[in-house]
Amino acid sequence: MKKLKGIGLLLIANVLIFITLSITFTILSEVVLPAFGIDLRGSFAQQDLLWAFVIGFGGAFISLAFSKQMARAFIDCTQVTQPRTPAERMVYETVQKISGRLNISMPEVWIYESPDPNAFATGPTKNNSMVAVSTGLLNNLNEGEVRAVLAHEMGHVYNGDMFTTTVLAGLMNTFVYFISRMVYRQMAERNAALGFAVYIFLQIILSVLAMIPISWWSRRREFAADRFAANTVGKEHMISALQGIDRWVQRTQFEYSTQDALATMKISGQTRSFMQIFSTHPPIDDRVAALRQL
């Protein structure tokens, strides 16, 4: 029942967003702009807005629905169902214990080959998710620290962060498609080839800009997951885990901003620079400071 209620609320929210945008652009194109001598009524077609809405949210939710399959396709991973080593047993039992305490279905547990200490959670719902940790995480952190990282990822699962991020991504995608299409209509009337070129250019530029609010939201959710881990296993373990990851980065002198294309999506976050606005994780120093204030 709760699941159906959540889906219903999501659909209602999406419909309200569409109606609001439709009314707003209708008033803008039919009343406000003509009053100032700007007649763009031919370009604001509601079917374009509907199409953008369907593509924007449809694409985002299709990605969410297949997020586990896509994650497994891009990493060299092994699912843990019957732990064979002490490390596998510790990871499996930690996830099992936390999910039982939260009264949610146990996520799939995966371990993947990667030298850097990292972990992630994904899946369409909190009762249909996966948690994956790297071999680098198991090799570089102690048991308490690994448990803290696992609790952090379980915080993402329980809080439904993948779902809420998908809703935000769908909204951003809708604006990207709609604005690009709107400009294309104007340009195509004069030059079809130029209009198409501008359309593709806007798709790329606006998609990049759309990552800024999405990444900002993701960073906020990282702080929330840290708090969840602190409440679950103790903040000192989470602080120690973050510091251990930071030491590994410093020790290996990994230039994330230039050598690792996925650096902005990893636990280590991004160094303080302009590119930080595209980082899904806050700087480790900020996270440690926030944990210490709890």
Count of CA atoms in the C-beta half-sphere (13 A) of 216: 7
In angstroms, what CA-CA distances link 114 with 97, 154, 269? 25, 21, 17
DSSP 8-state code for residue 263: G
Q: Give the span between the Cα atoms of 268 and 61, in whole angstroms.
A: 27
Q: Give the span between the Cα atoms of 144 and 122, in whole angstroms.
A: 23
From the list 287, 165, 160, the residue with the least C-alpha distance to 230 is 287
Helix (H) or strand (E) holding 130, with range, is: strand 128-134
Give the pair of three-digit tokens for residue 60: 């985002």
Four-point Cα dihedral 280, 285, 289, 290, nearest 10: 0
Catalytic residue among 108, 145, 153, 222: 153
Q: Is 113 an active-site residue?
A: no
Give bridge partners of residue 79 from the DSSP assignment: 110
Give the pair of three-digit tokens for residue 44: 């604001």
Give the pair of three-digit tokens for residue 8: 């219903």
Q: Give the span between the Cα atoms of 225 and 291, in whole angstroms.
A: 11
Please check whether residue 206 is in contact with residue 179, taking contact to mean a CB–CB distance below 8 angstroms.
yes
Tell me the one-letter amino acid at 151: A
Active site residues: 153
